Structure 1
Amino acid sequence: MRNVTFVVDESGAKGFSDNREAVVGELGVMAGLLIPTECVTQVEADISAIVFGLSPTGKLHITDLDSGAQQKVRESLFSYLLSVRAGWVYEAMYVEGLHSHQQLVSDMGAVAKAQRRSNIKLSGNERLASLHQELFLGAFGKGVAFCIDHLGNEVSIDVITDRVNGSVLKSFDEAAQRLLNVGSRKETGVSGFDPDSKTVVRGLVTTEITAGMDQLGDFTGVEYNISQSTSVLTLAADVVANSVHHHLKSLQACKPGCALNTVDAIAGHPLANSVYGVTTEASVMPQVADTIFRHPMSSGK
């Protein structure tokens, strides 16, 4: 089994699906670097040499530095990542796209509820989607695909994120499980109140996908672990995520609501030629973020 270290960080928006965009085209990004675990020590040493002296102690983000130092770090880091042919991925999503999808789901639920014939009052409130979690899900999925494409189906992925609170870390784990167990049999307990008998009733909803699963890939040999760290590796992921967010945000002036996870969208970024997981118009599998969560003003292309 091959071992890969996947260092991720986010930039931009990361709220919940009840949020509306503050400005047209507001978006969030999560980017991740994929490093063979046996190379991590050397890569850490190399990146430390690049940023040495900028922040001898404490947490460091690219935005903590003045503009001159930021540019120097970006240029040196990008040059290094290109020289070692480092694999990397990103997932980008619009705030308004997530909100619109949540509204669509809510409207469909309201219609279904209105058509119910049972007088049982079901319990439970609608759960808001987290942009931060959806960004991680997309980035993690691309990271898994990268590993399978380059290393085979038997792979262990050590996911490292910058410091986040416990609930966010738990949501990342839930997202990873959702991806790796997609289509598997799942049982969900439901409860409600019967006003006639004045009793609580309980049931079980079972879901399973059996057709078309072979098109999603074989995840049975994929293992993962998620941990937190503040290091030069998370600094590197922060620099990449921040630069991708800035790049995609700048597109909104001339292409508001454009697809974000494509070859065209990332074109012109210093690391565009080494990114994995972006699509073209001829791609068979569409990007989830650019279809289901597309901006309302987008045509979907």
Structure 2
Amino acid sequence: MGIRAAGRDDLRDILTHFGLPASDEMTLDTGWTRAIASGFTPDAAAVRDHLETVHRVHAGFTESCAVTCVDAEGRDSYDWLADVIDDDATASILDLACGSGVLLERLAGRNADVRLTGMDMSADELALARRRLGPDRVALHHGLAQDLGFLADGSVDAVLCHWALTLMDPVAPVLAEVARVLAPRGVFAAIVDGPMDIAPGYSAVNDLISNHVRRAYPRYGDVDLGDPRIRDTTELHDLLRGVFPGARVRVESNVVSATAAPEALAREASSFFYSVFLLGESARANLLIDLAALFAEQGALATFHMPINRLLVER
């Protein structure tokens, strides 16, 4: 199913029908897109340019996606990550790549005494976080995760990172900085992508989206955002043990799910994939129609299951 020959006004109507703005900014001109379109391997600067552009044009999209999917116990990925923190502790916590501040807000609501710090590379996401959290509750910093120079050695009891570690390149300096600032008995935890085979139907959704993106960017899939070791459970274990020698390292898997009418679910599910933001109006409209058709095979209501991992390092 699709509308390969639809006119421009039709495409705008389709996007509006799916609850999305019709805008030429959906085709992102970034260092990363230019590199893969030209046959080059993007460098770290190109990756950062791409991520900053996505979060400038679509600030706040991570939270709008993540809060719609919950696990069997009713927890979204923010709550599952926050669960590693003892609510009674008067700890110092860093939210690495804090985005719009959802996790910081959850942590503050659980414990009024905890000392919170957030940092992010996106000024637009930090602006949302400041509005959410107020001027005094949380210290917010603008910068890269590879450089936490504003924090002293061993000064943080916990470092949390919600779904950003997967995208960081290079990731080794990030982990080295986390190890440096983490207290001797500190905890590092992060939400990252999980193994596809544990979430029913996820591979079909992922393949459909990847096929659409490859029509615009044939090299997509050969070049991906972030370090591939973060997406492989075994390699992730080995990487963490190397950076945190002697620490207890666990990688736990979970599935979060959302249920809605097929068209609404297509909009929500597609927003979890950074690759969708590479597409212009025509390509995105066709993707949404095909994804809605895939979900419609389940009936009037459909469910999207997504695999996630929670990595936990305890010193």
Higher relative contact order (CA 8 A, sep 6+): 1
Give the TM-score band, short-chain normalised. under 0.3
Q: TM-score, normalised by structure 1?
A: 0.25
